[in-house]
Amino acid sequence: MPAAPGQASGKEGAKSLILTLGLLTLLSAVVGGGFGLTIVSSIEKRVEEKYKDIPQKVPNTSPYTGDIAIKKMAPVVTNLANSESDWIRLEASIVYKSGNDLNSDVLVAETRQDVLAYLRTVSLSQVQGPSGLLHVREDLNERAKIRSKGMIQELVLETLVIQ
């Protein structure tokens, strides 16, 4: 049956439909990209205007300011929890706020005793790997800060050996 006048045949109609959809897709991609670039540039301008008056923080400044000191703790050696054969040795130092009425030897001894008590509760699986070491470090720092009522700023782990 011949095509009606003004209608394209099946193959020609499909080609024109695909060509039309391709052109519309290309047009929408160009318009969307242009709109996206316009929005991004306007957001960048607003952010720059907002933060241009704020003074920039000087990089490489130490978080430790004021009257502080560092003192090395005696090594802590103990066995791990639930094991008679796994031993841990920790060497650390404390960074603390020094003051006239502060006895640093007492602070170090109390911190060492608390570290020893904590390490006796830790199992080998809790210390393994980088994330385990990070958790132990964070726990020891938190305990030291709480026990010293904020006098200790950080417990610096120097060596940690598990045998």
93: CB partners within 8 A, 6+ apart: 70, 71, 72, 73, 155, 156, 158
- pTM confidence score: 0.60
Domain coverage including residue 131: 68-162
Length of the chain: 163
Asked if residue 58 has pLDDT above 80, the reply is no
- Residue 110 maps to a domain: yes
- Residue 1 maps to a domain: no
Asked if residue 63 has pLDDT above 80, the reply is no
pLDDT the model gives residue 61: 62
Phi, psi of 5 (to 5 degrees): -60, 135
Q: How confident is the model at residue 67 (pLDDT cuts 50, 70, 90)?
A: confident
pLDDT the model gives residue 54: 73
- Residue 2 maps to a domain: no
pLDDT tens-digit profile of 2-28?
555 555 567 888 899 999 999 999 999
- Residue 124 maps to a domain: yes
CATH number at residue 120: 3.30.479.30
Q: How confident is the model at residue 118 (pLDDT cuts 50, 70, 90)?
A: very high
pLDDT tens-digit profile of 71-98?
999 999 999 888 888 899 999 999 988 8
Count how many domains the chain has: 2
- Residue 42 maps to a domain: yes
